Amino acid sequence: MTILKDVAKIAGVNISTVSRALRDSHLVNRELKEKIKKIAGKLNYVPDARAKSLATNIKNTIALVVPYRQFTGGEVYNEMIRGIYEKVEEELRIAIILTSFERDNHSFFRIIDENRLDGAIIIGDTYSDEDIKMISGILFPVILLHQKVDSPASNIVNIYSDNREGIRLMTEHLIKKRNRKNLLYVGGGERYKSNQERTAGFLKEVKREKIKYKVLNAAYERGAGSGYDLIQDLFQKGDFNYDGIVCSSDDLAIGIIRFLLEKDRGFYQKISITGYDNKANSSYIYPALTTVDHQPYQIGRASAEILLNWIYNKKKPVKKSYVFIPTLVIRESCGK
């Protein structure tokens, strides 16, 4: 049986381009589109799920659910979503409805009531216990992406990065490899479950190593500006004697670095600054930011692959939770 990969190989393009061409996407020029369609025709390529759907209750539609309609997500969530879309595009046959978790006439729950979905990927890390209970009552397969959940229900597969271990590894690096003795942790507040996990990972390590520490929270939403203001306030109060600062996001770390550069351009020889996320700009600032990479693109892509296999290939996931282990990215900002 001919598959999408066969068409892509003969056409000399990637699978995503074939998928777009066969859906008449404007992103593929006319000549290439016609070439791909001719090759598909010669190979008798037919998307298998469309044929199957005539004899089954398959809708060939999944939902991608964000916490609320005004949700912007930032670079990390955008990378997860890119991974999801690119995997789904390879399959050609599946449509994605982007919706929100809000309870109104345009939400995910309205679409469920209309019986339009085969499954869903719910992304975010601000869902309450009540929200998780509601998700557990959904009758089709669901991937809960990014927020850790204990003992997921039978309809849920939980995919997330181990935020607690990621920040613990970074804290351990500063203590054991950089010999830091007095650490400041800058978090993003209790609203975000990922930040709660990161704070717990930091506390676990500093308490185990019995070193001095302080925990402060800044506003994630304000990004670098929030980090800048927090450190400026500490300096104005004369309350800054730390030799390492562990931040729960790259943006907070970048704001702190900006303030410290204004004070002393060689500060990073004495004070270690670390972020979390490995955003695209983290290697281009001065000094280049030491950070944690938690693989958002790979996590997004894996979530789509597991859901599609679960629904359309009847391959039930062998595990209820899939955990990605973050890795350290060591650069100049953690000092000597």
pLDDT tens per residue across span 295-314: 999 999 999 999 999 998 88
Domain ranges for the chain: 1-46, 56-161+297-325, 164-293
- 56-161+297-325 and 164-293, same CATH topology: yes
Whether the pLDDT of residue 327 is over 70: the answer is yes
102-144 pLDDT per residue, tens: 876 568 888 888 888 999 999 999 999 999 999 999 999 999 9
**Cα distance between residue 147 and residue 165, in whole Å:** 14
296 three-class SS: helix
When the pLDDT of each residue in the chain is averaged and rounded to a whole number, the result is 89
Query: At which residue do the structure tokens 């557990």 appear?
Result: 136
Query: At which residue do the structure tokens 């044929």 appear?
Result: 51
Class of domain 164-293: alpha beta
Q: Under CATH, what is the fold of the domain 56-161+297-325?
A: Rossmann fold (3.40.50)
Question: Given pLDDT bands bounded at 50, 70 and 90, which one contains residue 5?
Answer: confident
Closest by Cα among 121, 118, 97, 119 to 107: 97
From the options 3.30.420.40, 3.40.190.10, 1.10.260.40, 3.30.465.10, give the CATH code of 1-46. Answer: 1.10.260.40
Question: Given pLDDT bands bounded at 50, 70 and 90, which one contains residue 54?
Answer: very low
pTM: 0.80
Structure tokens at 62: 């999944």
- Per-residue b/e over 163-200, b at no fewer than 16 CB within 10 Å? bbbbbbbbbbbbbeebebeebbbbbbeeebbbbbbbbe
Q: Yes or no: say if 262 and 232 are a contact pair by the CB < 8 Å rule.
A: no
DSSP state string for 176-206: HTS---EEEEEE--SS-HHHHHHHHHHHHHH
**Cα distance between residue 45 and residue 2, in whole Å:** 5
Q: Is the dihedral of CA 262, 268, 270, 276 positive or negative?
A: positive
